[in-house]
Structure 1
Amino acid sequence: MMGQINPIALFLVVLIGLGVVGNNATITIAAAVLLLIQQTFLSKYLPLVDKYALQWGIILLTIGVLSPLVSGKTKLPPHLSDYVNVKMMLAMAVGVLVAWIAGRGIPLMGGQPVLVTGLLIGTILGVAFLGGVPVGPLIAAGLLSFLVDKI
């Protein structure tokens, strides 16, 4: 007699399929790792993953962004005047804006977890079929927070 199909495991398998079809290793690997954790003795560590993975991911992403500076591949502008131009000022302003928007998303994701499903599905579709990257849920949640506040 077959047991019930675990809907979360099925969802992860679908994500793995979307990752393969969309040629996106990030989605494929993430879903496969979570499926492996869920379906093995490692499932006892899911609360830790749930609690800290976002923070670990942001740390790894920040390391990835800073590493070209540290390795010398990218140089900091040598003079203060190099920071004072339209492109650099726009880059800094957009960086501040996106960080602020993403910061608004964290409380929304915690306060209305049902919306996380929609954000994740949208992000996954964007990653799998539009060549996006999976940092979208935080920014999407931040943008959604502006809309949800009005509803």
Structure 2
Amino acid sequence: MNWDNMPLLVILVLAVIGNNHSVSLAVSALLIIKLMGLTTWFPSIENYGLNIGITILTMAVLTPLAQGRISIGEMLDAFKTQSGLIAIIVGMIVSWVATQGMYFLKASPEATTALIVGTIGGVCFLHGLAIGPLIASGVVAMILNLLNLFKQ
């Protein structure tokens, strides 16, 4: 095994220590793909993985609707409570922040490494979720935009 695999191995060890099965599985899959010589898959995973992951995540969130465990009436009731209204507003804001993060990652690939390190740290040691880079990059973009406003 060459040293190119070391970052993934370190992340794998951290994920195992942090008992994070999602990261362990993701890193193991990437290592297996790499060791099997299927590196031509990497561009497709990089280009489409986020959309596929978001689609699967959305399916998981919508499954109670599909199963009939949440009715239209219950959805409408969300507009009648303080926590429901706050959840709707925060959901919209976070969705927008994530979109800004996607644009930021495309425009500033140098920030990707730092976001990955931060996300892996959060996942492994704070038991966070690996969806952090998108939200984190959106927050970074917002902070940088604010800092730019103050520079002017």
- Secondary structure in structure 1 of the residue aligned to 2:3: coil
Contact 2:14–2:124, Cα closer than 8 Å, also in 1: yes
In the superposition, the TM-score normalised over structure 2's length comes to 0.89
- Range with greater deviation from structure 2 (70-79 or 59-68): 70-79
Contact 2:115–2:137, Cα closer than 8 Å, also in 1: yes
Q: Deviations over 1:13-39 (max 9, x none)?
A: 011101100000011011111111122
Contact 2:101–2:139, Cα closer than 8 Å, also in 1: yes
Instruction: Kindly tell me the number of residue pairs found equivalent between the two proteins.
Output: 147
Matches within 5 A, 1:67-86: 67-78=63-74, 80=76, 83-86=79-82
CA RMSD of aligned residues (A): 1.8
Residues 76 and 19 (structure 1 numbering): CA distance in 2 closer, same or farther, change over 3 Å?
farther
Contact 1:77–1:83, Cα closer than 8 Å, also in 2: no
1:18 maps onto 2:11 in alignment: no
In the superposition, the TM-score normalised over structure 1's length comes to 0.89
User: Cα distance, 1:43 vs. partner?
Assistant: 1.1
Matches within 5 A, 1:2-151: 5-6=3-4, 9-78=5-74, 80=76, 83-149=79-145, 150=147
Contact 2:78–2:85, Cα closer than 8 Å, also in 1: no
Which residue identity does 1:87 align to in structure 2?
S
Q: Deviations over 1:66-111 (max 9, x none)?
A: 1122123344435845522211111100000000000000111011
Unaligned runs of 5+ in 1: none
Residues 28 and 81 (structure 1 numbering): CA distance in 2 closer, same or farther, change over 3 Å?
closer
User: Cα distance, 1:41 vs. partner?
Assistant: 2.7
Residue identity (%): 33
